[in-house]
Amino acid sequence: QILILDFGSQYTQLIARRVRELNVYCEIHPYNHLPEITSAVKGIILSGSPSSVRDADAPTVDLNALRHQAPVLGLCYGAQLMAQSSGGEVKPSSIREYGRVKLGTVNDQNPLLHGIDQHSQVWMSHADTIMTVPDNFNVIASTDTVRVAAFQIEGEQTYGIQFHPEVTHSLQGKVLLRNFVVDICGCSQSWTADSFVESTVAQLKEKLGDDKVVMGLSGGVDSSVAATLIHRAIGANLYCIFVDNGVLRKDEFEDVLESYKELGLNVKGVDSKQQFYGALTGLTDPEAKRKAIGKTFIDVFDQEAHLIEDVSWLGQGTIYPDVIESVSVKGPSATIKSHHNVGGLPDFMKLKVVEPLNTLFKDEVRAVGKTLGLPDTILGRHPFPGPGLAIRILGDITAEKVQILQEVDALFINGLKREGLYDKVWQAGAILLPIQSVGVMGDERTYERVVALRAVTSVDGMTADWAHLPYEFLADISNEIINKVKGVNRVVYDISSKPPATIEWE
């Protein structure tokens, strides 16, 4: 595997993704929580950083020790750290070096730069520049303005580069990373979804033995794939619970339960609609609604988990970005949950946790799901928030409002599917607004509800653009909704991007 040491760069996850795309397993660790470097670590990549090596409290590691344990590639800050700690000079750049730049000279005889063109386009993003390097650093690439764009330390498999090969604007970045990971470090490109399933199922068998696992399913990709994987390992000893919280999409509870049964999962559907509606009564504040739903879910799940005898594990669909977030350089204390209240936790939260997907990115989870034979209806599903329609009904929640919104949402989503638009948007749904508007139907004046439709394109939900759905489609859907859903006389389309808006309205 490749070890990526994170110094806090916005691009660290991208480095990991690029390495994984080469079918090589890698892990990100914060620079200040260095794991033991075993023989399994074939190479080390140092990330960039928002810090400057010139700062007194600049993040650092013992490079001399690392350099003798495995080949090392320093990217941007990582390269500057190498240069400076060996006696080179790093200074603020006189010109701003940000964006696409063409390399000038490239020593393509160097193993790191095999196959890289002389004027290859790379992505620069740095405020500091390496001015001088020690005599035993060989400069292997330059640009017009950056003399030390890449170097190798003589006699060592230690490299530094000033640009960012992990960013797609570095057009041959993947070639460079392949050179490092495969040729220089000698990693075999054998890490695939198939091999992941095989080794994970074997590990789960070993770890869980005859123990019982309880797991809550949501219908989403992560929990479904995690459950299927655990099921492969321990079969009926996995007890799945799928709760109807009353704010799911139309027919979602029945449909999802059916697909889980078809997959052979031992799943219990629990209808707790009334309990959730009870907890939501009178609440209008979005955070209060979220809390009420979260707490009710915990109560229901705890009660159900108690019905299973001798259960010792809690299965979870946690994926790698969640893990990285909770141990990030930027402040573990701010993101990790406080555990000082263990005594007051529900019993299921005291179970040992098994998280088979906690090393995978989202697209890898999908690939594993495909290998496991999960249907596209589960794998291709849009994200859906845990608090469900409760945060898409602005104001207080009633069963009647839920039912209206479910109808509108179903017409919209089915329309997107029918027109081949569903897979083109990242997430879509409808919002019930807390206002009424005047309309006319036949000869009569109406005074009814307004719904908003929202569809966005996005990569990860962190930023999003409103989806430019065809006008004809919007016109048809609007007609269909107003004609078919009693109590709605106006449909609007949300054309706000995130930021400054968010995807959900609450």
Distances (CA, A) of 216 to 241, 405, 419: 5, 25, 33
CA 365 – CA 20 distance, rounded (Å): 12
Count of residues of this chain found to bind ligand XMP when the rule CB under 6 A is applied: 11
- Of residues 85 through 144, those in contact with ligand XMP by CB under 6 A are none
> Which of these segments, 104-112, 136-144, 349-357, 381-389, binds ligand XMP (CB under 6 A)?
381-389
Q: Which is nearer to ligand XMP, 30 or 387 (CB)?
A: 387
Q: Is 221 annotated as a binding residue?
A: yes
CB of 430 to ligand XMP, least distance (A): 13
Q: Is 76 a catalytic residue?
A: yes
Query: Are 411 and 486 a contacting pair, CB within 8 Å?
Result: no
> Which of these segments, 99-107, 369-377, 382-390, 474-482, binds ligand XMP (CB under 6 A)?
382-390
Q: Does 502 bind ligand XMP (CB under 6 A)?
A: yes
CA 90 – CA 222 distance, rounded (Å): 44
Contacts of 49 (CB under 8 A, 6+ apart): 7, 8, 9, 59, 76, 77, 78
Selected catalytic residue, list 26, 97, 126, 166: 166
Q: Is 164 a catalytic residue?
A: yes
Look at residues 41, 59, 42 and name the one whose alpha carbon lies nearest to residue 50. Answer: 59
Query: Are 45 and 71 a contacting pair, CB within 8 Å?
Result: no
Phi-psi label, residue 219: left if phi above 0, alpha if psi -120 to 50, beta otherwise: left
* DSSP structure class, residue 247: -
One of 290, 291, 370, 381 touching ligand XMP (CB under 6 A): 290
Q: Does 216 bind ligand XMP (CB under 6 A)?
A: no
Binding mask 453-482 for ligand XMP (x = CB under 6 A): --------x---------------------
Q: Does 503 bind ligand XMP (CB under 6 A)?
A: yes
The sign of the torsion formed by the CA atoms of 113, 116, 119, 123 equals: negative
Q: Return the SS3 of 391.
A: helix
Selected catalytic residue, list 26, 76, 187, 240: 76
Cα angle for residues 332, 329, 82 (degrees, 5° grid): 155
Query: Are 125 and 76 a contacting pair, CB within 8 Å?
Result: yes
CA 111 – CA 129 distance, rounded (Å): 24
CB of 385 to ligand XMP, least distance (A): 3
Look at residues 460, 388, 471 and name the one whose alpha carbon lies nearest to residue 426. Answer: 460
Query: Are 37 and 11 a contacting pair, CB within 8 Å?
Result: no
Q: Which is nearer to ligand XMP, 386 or 487 (CB)?
A: 386
One of 302, 448, 494, 504 touching ligand XMP (CB under 6 A): 504
Look at residues 405, 394, 364 and name the one whose alpha carbon lies nearest to residue 21. Answer: 364
Q: Does 383 bind ligand XMP (CB under 6 A)?
A: yes
Q: Which is nearer to ligand XMP, 27 or 504 (CB)?
A: 504
Selected catalytic residue, list 26, 97, 126, 164: 164
Q: Which is nearer to ligand XMP, 116 or 390 (CB)?
A: 390
> Which of these segments, 24-32, 357-365, 383-391, 483-491, binds ligand XMP (CB under 6 A)?
383-391
- Of residues 479 through 498, those in contact with ligand XMP by CB under 6 A are 498
Q: Which is nearer to ligand XMP, 220 or 332 (CB)?
A: 220
Q: Does 386 bind ligand XMP (CB under 6 A)?
A: yes
Look at residues 470, 397, 29, 121 and name the one whose alpha carbon lies nearest to residue 245. Answer: 397
Q: Does 362 bind ligand XMP (CB under 6 A)?
A: no
> Which of these segments, 52-60, 334-342, 385-393, 475-483, binds ligand XMP (CB under 6 A)?
385-393
408 half-sphere exposure, CB direction, 13 A CA radius: 32
Rounded-to-5 percentages of helix, strand, coil across the chain:
35, 25, 40
Q: Is 223 annotated as a binding residue?
A: yes
Q: Is 166 a catalytic residue?
A: yes
Known binding-site residues for ATP equal: 218-224
Which residues does the annotation mark as catalytic? 76, 164, 166
Binding residues vs ligand XMP (CB under 6 A)? 290, 383, 385-387, 427, 461, 498, 502-504
